[in-house]
């Protein structure tokens, strides 16, 4: 286990009460783990903004009846073959599909890929979720 450092913080009572309610709803058993997760999240965002290698998922819901859409989505992903690690395709109902694209690479390229997919006619929703490869954390 890593060395643990204890420190104190000053915080307004009402802000702390709101924080405690929030972390309770999320299932945290103590403030320390919740604060550690917030710090990790900030470090992931910082790393992403600095252009360091990142990983993430691009999640899309789209109308599979849209003419030539599936071919276009595949073509775009092939253009970014170095960044796309894997895809998962799910048929939600008669009209809609969900696709999750697992990506790894430079943040600018991953964002570019997500934007190109998002802009395709027939894509109803597209979101990019970023995280870290875990190196240096």
Position 66 pLDDT exceeds 80: yes
Separation of alpha carbons 101 and 8, rounded Å: 41
Identify the pLDDT of residue 71. Answer: 96
The answer for residues whose C-beta is within 8 angstroms of residue 36's C-beta and 6 or more apart is none
Identify the pLDDT of residue 135. Answer: 67
Identify the pLDDT of residue 77. Answer: 98
Position 137 pLDDT exceeds 70: no
Mean pLDDT of the chain: 93
Give the pLDDT confidence of 69-126 residue by residue, as tens digits.
Answer: 999 999 999 999 999 999 999 999 999 999 999 999 999 999 999 999 999 999 999 9
Neighbours of 63 (CB within 10 A): 14
Identify the pLDDT of residue 57. Answer: 98
Q: What are phi and psi of 91, to 5 degrees?
A: -85, 110
* Listed range (6-10, 55-59, 65-69, 100-104) with the worst mean pLDDT: 6-10
Asked if 87 and 77 count as a contact pair (C-beta separation under 8 A), the reply is: yes
């Amino acid at each position: 286990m890593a060395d643990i450092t204890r420190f104190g913080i000053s915080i307004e009572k009402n802000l702390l009460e709101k924080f405690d309610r929030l972390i309770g709803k999320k299932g945290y058993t103590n403030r320390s783990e919740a604060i550690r997760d917030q710090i990790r999240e900030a470090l992931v965002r910082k790393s992403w903004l600095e252009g360091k290698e990142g990983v993430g998922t691009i999640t899309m819901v789209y109308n599979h009846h849209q003419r030539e859409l599936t071919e276009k989505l595949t073509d775009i992903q092939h253009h970014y073959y170095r960044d796309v690690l894997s895809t998962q395709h799910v048929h939600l109902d008669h009209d809609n599909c969900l696709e999750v694209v697992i990506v790894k690479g430079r943040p600018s390229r991953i964002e570019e890929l997500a934007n190109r997919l998002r802009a395709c006619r027939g894509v109803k929703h597209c979101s990019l979720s970023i995280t870290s490869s875990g190196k240096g954390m």
